[in-house]
Amino acid sequence: MSNYIVSSNLAISDSGFLFYPATGESFTLNQIGIFILNKLREGKDENAVIQSLVDEYDVDKNTAERDFTDFIYQLKQNNLVQES
């Protein structure tokens, strides 16, 4: 199961504003986006993140897994995470 390393020094506000000092870029995330990113920062692996989505949100496992994959893809594209 994949583990992801989140780039260091990310600043995320509760409202979903993300600043990446290394590149000076900023992003906005929705609540689920923040939730996932924070779980990854805590060092949770893919399975654990998906499980916590299913536990806390009104979503089934398949959907959560599919959306997680898509979200990771976007994070990678923006160099915010890498696979460990």
Partner 1 sequence: MDKKRYERPVIIKQYSGLMNKFGSSPVTKPMTEIDGIPIRRMVDEYGSPLFVFSEKKIRENYRKMYRLFKTRYPKVQFSWSYKTNYMNAVCSVFHQEGALAEVVSGYEYDRARRLGVEGRNIIFNGPDKNTASLERAIKESAKIHIDHFDELFEIIELTEKMNADVDVAIRVNMDTGIYPKWDRFGFNYENGEAMDAIKRIIKNPRLHLTGLHTHIGTYIMSADPYRVAASKLVNLANEIYKQYNIVLDYIDMGGGIPSNNTLKGQYLQAEQILPSLEDFADAITSPMFDLEMPHDELPTLYLENGRSLIDDAGYLISSVIANKRLSDGKRAVIIDAGVNYLFTSHWFNHKIVPGQQSGEFTENSAVYGPLCMNIDCLRENIVIPSFKKGDLVVILYVGAYSVTQWMQFITLRPNVIMVMEDGETELIRENENIEYINSLEKVPEILKNFSL
- When asked if residue 2 is in the footprint of partner 1 (CB under 8 A), the reply is no
Q: Give the x/- contact pattern for partner 1 in 22-61, rule: CB under 8 A.
A: ---xxxxxxxxx-xxx---------------x--xxxx--
- When asked if residue 65 is in the footprint of partner 1 (CB under 8 A), the reply is no
Phi and psi angles of residue 67, each rounded to the nearest 5 degrees, phi first = -65, -35
The candidate with the shortest Cα–Cα distance to 35, out of 65, 14, 66, is 14
* CA–CA–CA angle 62, 8, 30 (5° rounding): 40
- When asked if residue 15 is in the footprint of partner 1 (CB under 8 A), the reply is no
Is the CB of residue 23 less than 8 Å from the CB of residue 79? yes
Rule CB under 8 A: which residues touch partner 1? 18, 25-33, 35-37, 53, 56-59, 63, 67-68, 70-71, 73-75, 77-78, 80
